[in-house]
Homo-oligomer: A and B are copies of this chain.
Amino acid sequence: MPKVVDHEERRRELAGAVWRVITRDGVAHVSMRTVAAESGWSSGALRHYFATRDELLAFACEQVLTRVTARITALRPQGTPQEMVRALLLETMPVDSERHTEASITFAFLALGLGDPALAAVQRKILIGMSELCQNLTRHLLPDASPQQQLSAARRLNAMVDGLSVHVLAGHLTPAEAVAELDAHLTTVSP
């Protein structure tokens, strides 16, 4: 057997290069060449792990979902339900540098997926994951409410989190202001 490398590990490394290019120059500057240069590999080597640009982008986006869900499932329940909900949602919002990067990538893909059916599948995964998370959280926040009320509250919570995140990404809110408004919303949901 010849020299063999861990394909998944290498793909994760290359996805990291995609993230750096996106956060530095924007998603429009992501190309096989720029990512190859950013990663330090040749474009031919890059093509061994990602046959097309779309495949590269889709993997880089799914990797964000993987990381966020890993962080969320690693969180141990502690504190009141409200505190727990807050901690979980903050894992998805651009409150620090690392999460800012993840959120900006997610947002960039969301916009990209509006016009590209190939990326819309990944986009859909992320939206559904976030939506189900919100529904689970609302069930804990409002255990005595009707399913319709829970679903409505979950949808509004989901929209609020995404809206606040977008405003932080656009520099229109500071992370602290967004967290404060998340807290304010949570108190209106479950006093």
* Interface residue SS majority, chain A: helix
Partner of A110, one of B124, B155, B166, B185: B166
Residues of chain B within 8 A (CB-CB) of A29 are 115
User: Residue A115 contacts which of B25, B160, B184 (CB distance < 8 angstroms)?
Assistant: B25
Contact B116 A170 (CB under 8 A): no
Residue in A159, A160, A161, A172 with the greatest tally of chain B CB atoms within 10 Å: A159
- Which residues 109-128 in A have Cβ within 8 Å of B in the complex? 110-116, 123-124, 127-128
A73 located at the interface, meaning its Cβ lies under 8 Å from any Cβ of chain B in the complex: no
**Oligomer: number of copies:** 2
Q: A110-B166, A156-B184, A188-B188 are in contact. Are A27 and B115 (CB under 8 A)?
A: yes
CB distance A114 to B110 under 8 Å? Answer: no
* Chain A residues near B (Cβ < 8 Å): 22, 25-29, 104, 107-108, 110-116, 123-124, 127-128, 131, 152, 155-156, 158-164, 166-167, 169-173, 177-178, 180-181, 184-185, 188
